[in-house]
Amino acid sequence: MKKASAIIAGILCVFTLWEVNYPTFQPQSSLAVFLMAGLVLCFLNFPLRGKWAEQRWSRALDLGLAALAALCCGFIIVQTERVFEPLWSGGEPLGNRPGRETGLDIGVAVVLLVLVLEAARRCMGWALPILALLFLAYSLFGPNLPDWLIPHRGYDLERTLAQAVLHGQGVFGVALGVMFRYVFLFVVFGAFLGATGATGFIIAFARRIFRNSAGAPAKVAVVSSGFMGSLSGSAVANVVTTGTFTIPLMRAARFKPEIAGGIEAASSSGGALVPPVMGAAAYLMLEIVQPPVTYLEVIRSALIPASLYYLSLFLFVHFHALRIASAEKAGPDSAAADPPPDTGKGGREELEPYQGVLFVASLASLIGFLVAGFTPFRAVTFALLVLVVLSFFRRETRLSREKFLGAIRDAGRDAVPLICAAACVGVIIGVVTLTGVGTRFPALILPMAEDNLLGALLLIMLGSLILGMGLPSVVCYLLMATLIGPVLGKLGVVPLAAHFFIFYFGMMSMVTPPVALAAYAASSVAGSKIIPTSMAAFRVALVGFTLPFMFVFRPELLLLAPGGESPPVMLVIYATTIAALGIVAFAAGLSGYLLVRLNPAARALLFVAAALMLYPGEALLFPGEWMLTIHDLAGVLLLAGVAAVTGVRGRRPPGGLRAPARA
């Protein structure tokens, strides 16, 4: 099984790299090969159930499902490629006979649908397959639904299966296409970075920088998870990779297990926001946002919000660590506490400078190719070649046969959930397109919001959080953008800002109790209870719930003007400064520390100050151009007042966290 999986993963990598750069097959055939490899790898590597994994009948079933997946996808290829024209049903390719599908076509669609649902269940759990089944039922029983469920005229099983499975608006639609053309190549890129040791350099470098800083282990988690999350685009994958190193570091510094897990979960969840790589949402936006945007426009708009999100995490960790230090200083046992144990050789982190060179050179080449006008898939292909070539100059980074094959296996393994989830989401999108619910749902939301932008935003936030509880953030974004994206456009929001708003809350669902998938993964690494870890992650990432509202009301934070054009530089500086001050107030209120430990009244005032600065009000006009708003002025003055009053109560404690308490 392992050898077969490695061979299939290698074929998948080679085929995808070649096909996206030098297309040979028809688009649907390419996606059929991609899906075939993903389904086969899923059934070979994700057994029916854990306790049955080694049973002979179970493995025979897995092999049978893998063979069925190959046959069904092979049928799609045969019915699409011109070289197989003698085998076409009715003498027409599959794409030219919508509404005239044969019995064999429908039979293959039924089997492929079952395989896609089962593969998604094995990789992602029950939530996504159940959602797909509900949408299929919606298509079949549309006329019998009550008014509040948006009834429609209904479609028979053949029409529903043809739309959702066989043609280019369903399984072989935009979701799987984005995974094929963009996301998988970045998965390969990240796997090879890991194989050369370049990603390990990130953690080592962060530990060296923050060694003597307050809350150093937690700051290492924030920085390293941000970099790693940008490459993986998956909050859960980020937690189980970087968290393996950073959570023990935080626990060694006597952070409570749930706090350590919460910081790692919040840090990992934001990684998909970090340019230049970001997660799959950046590539989905290229396909969905209207009017169309370029990849450089997406990553440019993501820069300031991502910086503000990680600034909030960094400040929370810093203030929280100083609060612990001040409590220990006042406590009777502080002098007896031991410093946290060093990890690494002799208390020093061993850095391999050439691994850092590889990391910087790879990302620099990726950005350079993008700036030069290359498409994202061509840019990442060339950046991967740069990485492989440079890795051979040092023995410690050289890709031996074992490392090379290991990177391919890792890429194939990491891609399986993405492929299966994308295919399952394609079923939902096919039903949405067929029934027209995607255009009718906004008409239902708009009256509920009564043409009030804030009301609509709150409803969309709630929908994104609920939907994202059981789904990956990218899948949640795709569904919400399809269903609700038009609502924000009708309310006058800049299109790119509307899509960032939806994606941010899909990402925040990873740390929103009761179903916080990133926090669940962090709790398993930290050895803590799930619900306390989820609540800690929610508290640490709370500022992430305010950012989307900020850049909808202040599109300058996305480097956009209200009309979608580039804003004045001074307006960008002003909006960023006010947002940063609001985040300082918010982080200080959450952590209970500013210049000294804060009492409840001071914390409440800081929350008020943050709210005033994070939500814009009426502008005060000045000669030349407007700058300050009434809300901003009040928030800045309140923050300054709290800092001045609390500052006289005592001097700031030492910066180092030499003997941290149980945080």
Rank 123-127, 134-138, 152-156, 277-281 by mean pLDDT and report only the highest.
134-138
Rank 134-143, 296-305, 427-436 by mean pLDDT and report only the highest.
134-143
In angstroms, the CA 33 to CA 41 distance is 12
Collapsing DSSP states into helix, strand and coil, what is residue 619? strand
Cis peptide before 514 (omega within 30 of 0): yes
pLDDT in tens, 494-505: 888 888 888 887
pLDDT category at 12 given cuts 50, 70, 90 is very high
- CA torsion through residues 277, 281, 287, 292, sign: negative
pLDDT in tens, 367-396: 788 778 787 788 888 988 998 899 888 887
pLDDT in tens, 279-300: 666 677 877 787 788 878 888 8
Collapsing DSSP states into helix, strand and coil, what is residue 146? coil
Prediction pTM value: 0.68
pLDDT category at 537 given cuts 50, 70, 90 is confident
In angstroms, the CA 322 to CA 317 distance is 9
Inform me whether the pLDDT recorded for 66 exceeds 90.
yes
pLDDT in tens, 159-196: 999 999 988 888 998 778 878 887 788 778 878 887 88
* pLDDT for residue 337: 34
Q: Going by C-beta distance under 8 Å and a sequence separation of 6 or more, which residues neighbour residue 19?
A: 25, 30, 33
* pLDDT for residue 232: 56
* pLDDT for residue 110: 95
In angstroms, the CA 602 to CA 598 distance is 6
* pLDDT for residue 620: 47
In angstroms, the CA 133 to CA 127 distance is 10
pLDDT category at 113 given cuts 50, 70, 90 is very high
Residue 148, burial from CB neighbour count under 10 angstroms (0-12, 13-18, 19+): exposed
* pLDDT for residue 338: 34
**CA nearest to 231, candidates 292, 187, 175, 171:** 187
Range from 169-173, 578-582, 589-593 carrying the lowest mean pLDDT: 589-593
* pLDDT for residue 381: 87
| Structural domain spans, the chain | 2-166, 191-330+344-408, 568-657
Helices and strands: H and E segment counts in the chain: 27, 0
In angstroms, the CA 201 to CA 492 distance is 45
More confident residue, 385 or 442: 385
Residue 576 structure tokens: 């960023």
In angstroms, the CA 615 to CA 547 distance is 10
Q: Going by C-beta distance under 8 Å and a sequence separation of 6 or more, which residues neighbour residue 374?
A: 382
Rg of the Cα atoms in the chain: 26
Cα 472 to chain centroid distance, Å, stands at 7
Residue 548 structure tokens: 């989307």
Output the CA angle 575-577-578, nearest 5 degrees.
65
Inform me whether the pLDDT recorded for 524 exceeds 70.
no
Collapsing DSSP states into helix, strand and coil, what is residue 629? strand
**Do 511 and 269 meet the contact criterion of CB atoms below 8 Å apart?**
yes
Task: State mean pLDDT over 83-94.
Answer: 86
Q: Going by C-beta distance under 8 Å and a sequence separation of 6 or more, which residues neighbour residue 349?
A: 204, 207, 208, 211
From the CB of residue 57, how many other CB atoms can be counted at a distance below 10 Å? Answer: 9
Q: Going by C-beta distance under 8 Å and a sequence separation of 6 or more, which residues neighbour residue 322?
A: 214, 215, 593, 652, 653, 655, 657
**Do 386 and 361 meet the contact criterion of CB atoms below 8 Å apart?**
yes
**CA nearest to 376, candidates 173, 186, 199, 227:** 186
- Of how many residues is the chain composed? 663
Q: Going by C-beta distance under 8 Å and a sequence separation of 6 or more, which residues neighbour residue 387?
A: 189, 192, 193, 196, 198, 358, 361, 362, 365
In angstroms, the CA 239 to CA 265 distance is 6
In angstroms, the CA 146 to CA 139 distance is 14
From the CB of residue 610, how many other CB atoms can be counted at a distance below 10 Å? Answer: 25
More confident residue, 206 or 62: 62
**CA nearest to 185, candidates 68, 282, 74, 73:** 282
- CA torsion through residues 338, 343, 347, 349, sign: negative
In angstroms, the CA 327 to CA 591 distance is 13
* pLDDT for residue 489: 67
pLDDT in tens, 15-41: 999 998 889 999 999 999 999 999 999
Q: Facing residues of 629 across strands?
A: 619
Inform me whether the pLDDT recorded for 270 exceeds 90.
no
- CA torsion through residues 149, 153, 158, 164, sign: negative
* pLDDT for residue 439: 59
Q: Is 56 left (phi over 0), alpha (psi -120 to 50) or beta?
A: alpha
In angstroms, the CA 355 to CA 190 distance is 14
**CA nearest to 41, candidates 75, 78, 72, 10:** 10
**CA nearest to 632, candidates 560, 541, 550:** 550
Residue 183 structure tokens: 């996301």
DSSP secondary structure of 348-411: BPPP-HHHHHHHHHHHHHHHHHHHTT--HHHHHHHHHHHHHHHHTTSTTT---HHHHHHHHHHH
pLDDT in tens, 627-640: 557 778 888 888 88
- In the DSSP assignment, the letter for residue 658 is S
